[in-house]
Amino acid sequence: MEMGVDAVLVNTAIAVARDPAEMARAFRDAVDAGRRAFEAGLAPTRDEAEASSPLTGFLDPQ
Amino acid sequence: MRATDLDVSRAVAKPAGSRDLEDFAALIGPRAAARLEELARASHALTLRRFGRTVHMYAPLYLSNECLTTCTYCGFAKGLPIARKTLSVAQSLREGEFLRARGYRHVLLLTGEHQKLTGVDFLCEHVAALRALFPQISLEVQVWNEDEYRRLAAAGVDGVVIYQETYDPDSYARFHVAGKKRDYEFRLGGPERAARTGIRRLGIGALLGLHEPWREDAIALTAHALHLLKVAWRQELAVSVPRIRPSASGYSPEHPVTDRELAQLICALRLVLPDTGIVMSTREAPGFRDALVPLGVTHTSAGSHTDPGGYTEPGEAEGQFEVDDTRTPEEVADALRALGYEPVWKDWDALMRAGV
């Protein structure tokens, strides 16, 4: 979706589910969630993990 | 030779247990100082892996402030006009009962250096009495020969703490101007002699604020620790890097070690000595002490008095130095729990020695 697809075609995964209608709703929600996250804008990526609460913050005077 | 950024990166990237003295030098240097948060994260993760969320609690119990040695920075030094006191066995039992009631099961007995008043006989007598209250008894007193350590071990001592104060022989001679403690080599060999008698816990340390630059002492302390891990591998080792505090001696260092430098040193010690305890006493301030626990501190005291008899008869004798953290043991234990750590009051029993 990030690369620019216009549609998602799903057949078997929905067709063979125990409750196909519910599975179809799940796919719709997933596509919807992906689109919303993309529109909202992702956080910047980093090469390494970085704690959002630093261990050495106590050393810096407020 | 100055450590480069690459040296710091290499030291941080190495697996725990394979870092050496050169890595340590890089980790306490100015290049690493600029990457303190990165060091802290590595040190925190390693401490969690090796020690879990635990902090060992111990209490100092000063038996005497009589001293025949002159250390120019110490509040107990010979000749200082202070109120002196040596506890009787009954008095030290009262102090012991006070500490036991507050949860402590590990006491660290301390004295000045007085060959007659606080010799081996004196110590054996007090240890034998206090054994009824405490499964763990450590000593931080003058240094002894092997036979003397054997007697102390037989009396029930299971830990020996000997701070070299400074590892630089010239500075050592300058600060220790008179008394038995002048013998640098005899002091340096103390932990190994104690280990040979089967004493189970060893503590070593450098008093920051004596020798300058302090990084030389930090490197020598780490070299000493790495050596002890080889020759006394059955023992449990802990290191300490106390900063000098105000005392009756009037001594104050020209360039005190800063909070930031001490935090960096704690991280570097942890990264190079992954299984070694790191001790932080009440000489440091409450908030600072709490913040250092996640960085690698594993042993702490609380509610400490540095004057003999100070728990039950305060004000009768001079303390060795001023404590900064005056919280009660319960308050410190609560602060540790709030950080997600478990205060551990007892982790050893004499029964565990059976058959050894």
What is the per-residue pLDDT across B281-308, written as a single tens digit (0 to 9) for each?
999 999 999 999 999 999 999 999 999 9
CB atoms within 10 A of CB B303: 21
- Strand B54-57 to B136-140 pairing: unpaired
In chain A, which residue's Cα lies nearest the Cα of B40? A55
pLDDT for the residue B354:
58
Closest CB to B41 among A51, A58, A59: A51
Instruction: Indicate the residue type of A11.
Output: N
- B36·A56 Cβ contact <8 A: yes
- B41·A59 Cβ contact <8 A: no
Percent of chain B past pLDDT 90, that is, above it, reads 93
B165 near B240, Cβ under 8 Å? Answer: no
As a whole number, the mean pLDDT across chain B is 95
Label residue A50 by pLDDT band (50, 70, 90): low
Q: What are the beta bridge partners of residue B344?
A: B56
Burial environment of residue B150 by CB neighbours within 10 A (0 to 12, 13 to 18, 19 or more): middle
The residues near B88 (Cβ < 8 Å, ≥ 6 apart) are none
Global pTM value: 0.86
Q: What is the pLDDT of residues B163-210, one digit of tens each?
A: 999 999 999 999 999 999 999 999 999 999 999 999 999 999 999 999
Closest CB to B287 among A51, A55, A58: A58
- State ipTM: 0.74
Instruction: Indicate the residue type of B190.
Output: G
Contacts of A51 in chain B (CB under 8 A): 37, 41
pLDDT tops 80 at residue B117: yes
Write out the DSSP string of B236-272.
Answer: EEEEE-PBP---TT----SSPPPHHHHHHHHHHHHHH
